[in-house]
Amino acid sequence: MCKKKGLLPLLNIKSVRMYALYYCWLLYSYWLKSDGTPGKMKRSDGGDFFHAVCSSAADIFVTQESKNKEGKLPWILNQVPTKGFAIMSLEEFLLTL
């Protein structure tokens, strides 16, 4: 079915989109961005992978990490806008209530 419809419709599924976004970031940052030997994954990358996919179940992802700090999960997930998904600090979230 994927071959028939193509991969693009799969990216409309939020969990697939989040997984692909984080996976592409890892590939870029550890393999393509480096000059020479690829960097090693950090222990926290596995947890971020888990959080990236799990965050797709929610409409709002509340985190204490900055959305402006390059390489952090909120920044990575903010690179490709996702309809019906927002990343907020706890303070921003509390203001919406």
Q: How far apart are CA 28 and CA 14, in angstroms?
A: 21
pLDDT > 70? residue 62: yes
Q: What percent of the chain has pLDDT over 70?
A: 90
The whole domain housing 86 covers 2-96
Mean predicted confidence (pLDDT) in 64-93: 84
Can you give the pTM of this predicted structure? 0.68
Task: Taking the CA atoms of 63, 66, 67 and 73 in sequence, report the sign of the dihedral they define.
Answer: negative
Contacts of 26 (CB under 8 A, 6+ apart): 41, 45, 49
Q: Report how many domains make up the chain.
A: 1
CA–CA separation, 36 and 50 (whole Å): 28
